[in-house]
Structures are given as C-alpha cells and as structure tokens.
C-alpha cells in the first residue's frame, strides 16, 4: 500500500466507532499497521498471516531482535484455529477470555500465523482481548492480528493514544483512539505446553489463575523472565550448522543467499531477498531456514546481510541460530 504521509488518528468515542473500525480493518487487510486500544495496553496490529506486514511492524518498533508476538483473535473458536488446547488451557480460556490472559499453546500444523511473528517457534501465543474496540476490529478483520505493545522498543507500554503517537507518529498508518486503557499492565502469559508455566506476570493475578487450575503455576527455569526469544529453551535452532558471512556454499552445504548477485551453484539455494530488501528478507528468514534445514544438509552457508534497519535483528537471529548448541 502507499505509505501515509502521517499517522491517521481515528476517534472512536460514539457514532464514529463503526466507521473507524471498518477503516482500520481495511488497512490491516492491505498490509498496514494499526494501533488500537485493548484493556491492557495499546497494541500495534498487523495481519498475522502477512510476513511482510509483520516485518514492517518490527521495523516501526525498532526492535533489535524478533521477539515472538501475541496473535489476537475475536473469540475462542478463532484461537482454536491457531493452537492446540490441553485441559488446563481449556479451563483458563473458559474462565478468563475475553480478558488480560495470553496462552502459549503448541501451534497447529495449519496455523496461519507467519513464521516471522512466531520467531520460528513451534508454539503460538494467543489472546482474546475484552476491549470492545479491539473485539470489533478483530471481528471486522476476520483473522488473527499480531500486536505487540504500541511503543518503540525499550520504551514503556502505551496506555493512551498520546503515548502511541509520541513513539510511533509517522511510522504507522493509523491509531484508533479509544481513550485510556483500564488495566494498564500487559496481559499475564501462561504457557500450556506441559505443566502450566507463568511466563509473564501481568494484568490477571496469579492467584486467580491458580484457583481455576487447582494448583500452583510453575515458574520458568531461569529466574529472569524468558521473554527474549533466545532465552526460550524451545527456541528454534536449525539442526544443520550455520556458517555465517559465507561467499559461496561448500560441498554438502545449502545456501541462504541475500541480494541480487547471481550465484551459480548446484547446491540447494534460497534467497532472503533477491532485490536486497531487508523487510522482505525478515519475512522470509525463518521459513527459508526451515526449508534449507533438510536431512542430508550438513550446514547452511549464509551470505552477509547488511546491519542497517531490520538487518540488525536478522543478524541477531542468525547469530543465535549459529551459536553452538549446549
């Protein structure tokens, strides 16, 4: 879509809500970035299935690394299309959705969320927000919307449109102004992969969750919250070794290329972006790594990716994937 000169602010107080939500849903469908209120904090939304829109979202936030994002859906049936619910997840969803609770679930094989938004993980974080504007937007859009807090990386989460604009004006297409957020703290994140684990304390109290589960939540293995994806034990790492800053593949290696230079090699090759575009490269990163990480490939040679813009985050992920496995 053509870039907006600035960021449109859509008032959603009374009669204007329906029109604002419809315009925002169209913007998301066109690959745009829309900030919207939830009961916890303002989120910066993008179409979860559109890898390039997700890449632009990371660029707007200036995230130095690709943290996995929360997929927001209108209701529990929408969530079931993304992840698999065990008995604990069923109980928590029934008790607390819609509301300030995010569940991390094993992702379904047909989960439509872009690999980049999941940072290559096999799990997906899902939330059904209670805020009427968030709910209306998700209904109108009709699919999952990934939405990190609508702030620049390293800044605090925004609870008003003024906060969103001071961080992101001119970097995103629009913001729906729904007034201040009532909870003001991000959602509580519980992983329901095996035993339920509290990954992030938040707007829903731990005691309420434990009362519904009938037992205590486990804490993550490290005392630090495992919120940087590199610290997640389950974080995606290819089985093949990665050889960074490669000029060309060696015998038995696959090649992850970048940029327009034609490479004449019989080895399996995928190009992150033949036109040298870092947004396109980010969108392709995790899926290309997965495709090249095939049985029989001893290593993946990776051509240099420039360090500017999203290149910083791309190189961060590549370096983590290349680090020796402990």
Per CB under 5 A, which of residues 134..173 are in contact with Mg ion? Answer: 149
Query: How many residues interact with ligand TXA (rule CB under 6 A)?
Result: 25
Pick the closer one to ligand TXA by CB: 200 or 288.
200
Nearest residue to 211 (alpha-carbon basis) of 96, 105, 98, 129: 96
Q: How far is CA 305 from CA 2, 198, 246, 273, 322, in A?
A: 26, 36, 10, 10, 14
Helix (H, G, I), strand (E, B) or coil at 174: strand
**C-beta of residue 285 within 8 angstroms of C-beta of residue 317:** yes
* Cα–Cα dist 285/15, whole Å: 43
* Interaction between residue 104 and ligand TXA (CB under 6 A): yes
Nearest residue to 200 (alpha-carbon basis) of 189, 209, 210, 184: 189
* Interaction between residue 189 and ligand TXA (CB under 6 A): yes
Across the strands, what pairs with 104?
A: 125, 191
DSSP character at residue 272: S
* Interaction between residue 305 and ligand TXA (CB under 6 A): no
**C-beta of residue 39 within 8 angstroms of C-beta of residue 130:** yes
* Interaction between residue 123 and ligand TXA (CB under 6 A): yes
**C-beta of residue 305 within 8 angstroms of C-beta of residue 311:** yes
Which window, 19-27, 38-46, 206-214, 313-321, contacts ligand TXA (CB under 6 A)?
38-46
Pick the closer one to ligand TXA by CB: 34 or 255.
34
Which window, 13-21, 121-129, 255-263, 296-304, contacts ligand TXA (CB under 6 A)?
121-129
Pick the closer one to ligand TXA by CB: 34 or 69.
69
Among ligand TXA, Mg ion, none, what binds residue 163 when CB lies within 5 to 8 Å by partner kind?
Answer: none
Pick the closer one to ligand TXA by CB: 246 or 313.
313
* Interaction between residue 102 and Mg ion (CB under 5 A): no
Per CB under 5 A, which of residues 36..55 are in contact with Mg ion? Answer: none
Report the interface residues with ligand TXA, using CB under 6 A.
Answer: 38, 40-41, 43, 67-70, 102, 104, 121, 123-125, 127, 147-149, 186-187, 189, 199, 227, 229, 232
């Amino acid at each position: 879509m053509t870039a907006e000169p600035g960021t449109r602010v859509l008032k959603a107080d009374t009669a204007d809500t329906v029109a604002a939500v419809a315009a925002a849903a169209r913007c998301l469908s066109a690959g745009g970035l829309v900030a919207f209120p939830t009961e916890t904090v303002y989120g910066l939304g993008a179409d979860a299935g559109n890898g390039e829109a997700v890449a632009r979202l990371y660029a707007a936030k200036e995230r130095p690394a690709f943290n996995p994002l929360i997929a927001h859906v209108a209701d529990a049936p929408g969530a079931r299309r993304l992840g698999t619910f065990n008995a604990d997840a069923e109980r928590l969803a029934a008790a607390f959705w819609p509301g300030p609770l995010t569940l991390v679930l094993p992702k379904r094989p047909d989960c439509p969320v872009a690999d980049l938004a999941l940072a290559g993980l096999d799990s997906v974080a899902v939330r059904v927000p209670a805020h009427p504007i968030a709910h209306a937007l998700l209904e109108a859009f009709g699919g999952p919307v990934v939405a990190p807090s609508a702030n620049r990386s390293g800044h605090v989460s925004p609870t008003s449109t003024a906060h969103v604009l001071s961080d992101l004006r001119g970097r995103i297409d629009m913001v729906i102004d729904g007034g201040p957020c009532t909870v003001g703290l991000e959602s509580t994140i519980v992983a329901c992969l095996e035993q339920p684990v509290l990954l992030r304390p938040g707007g829903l109290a731990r005691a309420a969750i434990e009362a519904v589960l009938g037992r205590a939540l486990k804490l993550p293995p490290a005392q630090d919250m495992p919120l940087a994806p590199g610290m997640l034990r389950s974080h995606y790492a290819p089985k093949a070794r990665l050889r960074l800053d490669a000029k060309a593949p060696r015998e038995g290696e696959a090649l992850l290329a970048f940029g327009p230079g034609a490479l004449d090699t019989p080895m399996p090759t995928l190009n992150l972006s033949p036109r040298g575009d870092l947004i396109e490269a980010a969108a392709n990163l995790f899926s290309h790594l997965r495709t090249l990480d095939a049985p029989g490939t001893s290593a993946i040679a990776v051509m240099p990716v420039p360090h500017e813009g999203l290149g910083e985050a791309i190189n961060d992920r590549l370096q983590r994937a290349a680090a020796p496995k402990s």
